[in-house]
Chains A and B, each alone.
Chain A
Amino acid sequence: MIKNFKNNCSKKFLEKGYPSRQDENWKFTSSRKLAKFENEVNFDLKADNIENDDNTLLFINGVLDENSLDKFNYKDKLKVINIEELKNDVIFKFSDNFLNESLFNLGIMHYKKGYYFKFDKNVFINEPVRIVNYNNASQDQSRIVSFKIFHVQSGSEISFIEKDINDGKSSFNLKLNKFLCDENSVLKCGKFFEGKENNHLLSYNYFTLKNNSILNIDGLNKESVFNKEFIEIDLEDKGSEVKINILNLGKSNNHLDNNILINHNAESCTSFQHVRNILDNESSAVFNGKVIVSEGAQKTDSNQSNKNLLLSETSNAYSNPQLEIYADDVSCGHGSTTGALNEESIFYLRARGINKSEAEKILIKAFAKEVVDEFSLSSIQDISEIALDNWINEQN
């Protein structure tokens, strides 16, 4: 029962408190600032000013806006259940890693309302469903917790584009998400986060994949003063595929952190993770990527890549790609590079009459495009291209 789960999580958080630098997952990201965000937010707000079409599920301070559900195009193909009413513990079962994460426990302890979105079998939704998180804290140092579980049943193909709109005072947005992908399903998750000076974002995303299911995660994170994202994926049955492409753009004192764990628990699954960071000024990024190939997961094909482009001498990238392999018939690779713009490339472009500033912009865009071009959702690609151009043109 969710009540027991909540109690256990509360107990764990109260025992452990906020994570310290001694915690492996928090070695390069301080949670100290987050501890100050303890104020509750208002849950009965309206968000009339938010574009809310019939393909949007709108959440206001973590709570689902019933109007958006009423006019949701696909509501006939979907059941929305309050998590408190769930009888089946498997639905809200999270990984041990998340359960050992103090701030995941904090989220379970404090979420106001949790939702289980169960899409019917063999549903094909062509246009991506927009998940809009509208956050409007009325007082500074507020904590906004959301808890959502999405279930893509067998034979279904669904795309989500998740976007945060932060309109209020300073807040710590803590998001807990779980995605269950049944056999022969396709899930495409696009995430576009454009932060604000006063918003801190921490998200825990847990995916479970059954036979022959496909998962794509496209992400663009831009200008977040604090953005730490945990992604854990369990490939539970054979023949599943995962592709993760994430681009982070950091400037001023932005801090962007991707913590990705892929568990290959079954044979003949493939996973590909590609995270690129472009960092200017005093911004910093962390990549903690891990692939675990368990004993029976033969014929695993996995690749992990992290590339960091540093545009200033004061920007920092911490990269930690890891592989743990317990099977003997697998193909796994990983790599990481960190560096500045290539002087030879700048010379080459300038030698054709392109000025230095333009040459640098071309090279930054080229670095970013290699991820953006791999996004599975064209709409996320389009938004990202515009956001990328704006970001590059804003740079000195």
Chain B
Amino acid sequence: MIKIKDLMASIEDKQILNGINLNINPGEVHVIMGRNGSGKSTLANVIAGNEAYEVEKGSILMNNENITEMSIENRALNGIFLCFQYPVAIPGVSMAYFLRSALNAHLEHQGKEEIDALEFLKNSKKILNELGLDDSFLKRAINDGFSGGEKKKSEILQLLSINPKLAVLDETDSGLDVDALRTVAKGVNKFKNKNNAVLIITHYQRLLNYIKPDIVHLMIDGKIVKTGDMSLVEKVENDGYSWLEK
């Protein structure tokens, strides 16, 4: 589904990614773990097309199409979805307006008609209910005054509504209590199927107790240095990352 080849990227002349190679197939759940500052979130942002980052070298292919130079919105329309680590608050724009605009942008891209208001409400309310959120959530301004848990649930609401091909979860588990973590994980598990893929970026094992990854990557200094299965997660939990540098 997504092939990242020898990707190097920087921000404000500071090199962060130093040759990332990653291949995610449909139906797979990948995890990237690494210390703070190892470049995990940069990778998530570069995949989503954040223009604050400069791609110096390498390429990103999505379903065999080179998207390295593609605009942020076109990447989204082609199936990439970034669950933000720190979703930004936008006072004055309701969740309903935002979500419907996003859905309609996707429908237009697919050559389909805009979603009917009633159908939109029906679908959204169903997802809200599953996430334990009140219907009035749609009337609130985007992430404005949301608790940490509500912000992450809002991301999952968007994920389930838009139903992309690749979900990149950038530390979606940070700042969540156990109940919220379970709800978020339930949402991600509901999303994943054999036709889409998930890339989880995390520091901790706790989210992975609920979402089972197929492949685990460990990242140091902007490079994936080790790839393996769930046993790598346990090794990191017990020994940290220093053994990788020996």
Residues of A within 8 A of B (CB): 342-345, 347-356, 358-359, 362-363, 365-370, 373
Contact = CB atoms under 8 A, between A and B. Distances in A.
Interface in B72-126: 72-73, 76-77, 81-82, 84, 87-88, 90-93, 97-98, 101-102, 105-106, 109
A358 B92 CA distance: 15
A353 B84 CA distance: 15
Interface in B39-97: 48-52, 71-73, 76-77, 81-82, 84, 87-88, 90-93, 97
- Please classify the interface of chain A as helix (H, G, I), strand (E, B), loop, or mixed, using the class held by over half of its residues: helix
Given A366-B92, A370-B91, A370-B92, A350 B71 contact: yes
Contact of A351 (B72, B91, B101, B109): B72
A25 to B, nearest CB: 31
A343 B93 CA distance: 16
10 contacts: A342-B88, A343-B52, A350-B73, A351-B73, A353-B105, A353-B162, A362-B98, A366-B91, A368-B92, A370-B91
Given A353-B73, A353-B105, A353-B162, A347 B90 contact: no
A368 B92 CA distance: 8
Contacts of A369: 92
A35 B10 CA distance: 57
B18 interface: no
A353 B76 contact: yes
Contacts of B97: 362
A393 to B, nearest CB: 15
Contact of B82 (A351, A355, A359): A351
B88 A365 contact: no
A352 B93 contact: no
Interface of B: 48-52, 71-73, 76-77, 81-82, 84, 87-88, 90-93, 97-98, 101-102, 105-106, 109, 141-142, 158, 162
Nearest to A344: B88
A356 B71 contact: yes
| Interface-central residue, B73, B93, B101, by most chain A CB under 10 Å | B73
A358 B106 CA distance: 14
Contacts of B142: 348
Contact of B105 (A343, A355, A366, A368): A355
B72 A350 contact: yes
A347 B72 contact: yes
A365 B92 contact: yes
Contacts of A345: 88, 90
Contacts of A344: 88
Contacts of A354: 73, 101-102, 105
A215 to B, nearest CB: 25
Given A345-B88, A356-B72, A370-B91, 9 more contacts: A348-B87, A348-B90, A352-B98, A354-B102, A355-B105, A359-B73, A362-B93, A363-B93, A366-B93
B109 A353 contact: yes
Contacts of B158: 352
Nearest to B75: A351
Contacts of B141: 366
A394 to B, nearest CB: 20
| Interface-central residue, B48, B52, B81, B101, by most chain A CB under 10 Å | B101
Contact of B73 (A356, A367, A373): A356
Given A354-B73, A362-B101, A347 B92 contact: no
A353 B106 contact: yes
A367 B92 contact: yes
Contacts of A359: 73
Nearest to A365: B92
B235 to A, nearest CB: 33
Nearest to B102: A352
Contact of B51 (A347, A355, A362): A347
Contacts of A343: 52
